[in-house]
Amino acid sequence: MKPVAAAGRYARALAEIAGEKDAQALAALAAEIDLLAATIGTDAALVRFFDSPTVGDGEKQAVMATLADKARLSDLARRFLAVVVEHRRTGALRAIALDLAAFRDRAAGIVEAEATFARPPGPAEEQAMQAALEKMTGSRVRLSVKVDPDLLGGVTTRVGSRIYDGTLKTRLQALHRRLARA
């Protein structure tokens, strides 16, 4: 099984243990797992060390204890690190951290949204878009902004799996199709 495929299972199990509905506990745990992903998951030598079947368990335990002490990890994060190392999944730490962040956001009532503008929006436009999306969804919105000059004008917004297309390009294409039928 690919490490990324297993990441969702590890993140779900970790979220259930921490308490899926407890936003504060999930936020603290997600911060620790992010730290692990940033230190171990991005260092190819550490990933190889922990995933290697030739390195003894005693050596791995000593390195894990040192890392956990320096990072001041909670008991849950320490035990999780031990499970990840035991199952040779340290390469999946970054994906696990991302999946756990999604659980954290869900518990905190935060929704991801992406807005693609035809030109770079000003701060007032971004704030207005965020406020409108928060009103529409009834949740806090984490808005990411992109720019695509091919849109000509307007904005495309994605909230979850829903896409709202208010671009000039789409409206012109619809008008073209209606004129072609007439």
Give 29-63 pLDDT, tens digit per residue: 999 999 988 888 778 888 888 888 898 888 888 88
Q: Which of 70, 66, 74, 71 is nearest to 24 (CA)?
A: 74
Q: pLDDT grade, residue 4 (50/70/90)?
A: low
Whole-number pLDDT of residue 31: 92
Provide the mean pLDDT of the chain. Answer: 87
Pairing of strands 110-117, 162-167: unpaired
Q: pLDDT grade, residue 1 (50/70/90)?
A: very low
Whole-number pLDDT of residue 22: 76
Q: Nearest 5°: phi and psi at 66?
A: -65, -45
- Report the pLDDT averaged over residues 78-92: 87
Q: Are 43 and 129 in contact (CB under 8 A)?
A: no
The domains of the chain, with CATH numbers, are 3-106 (1.10.520), 109-181 (no CATH)
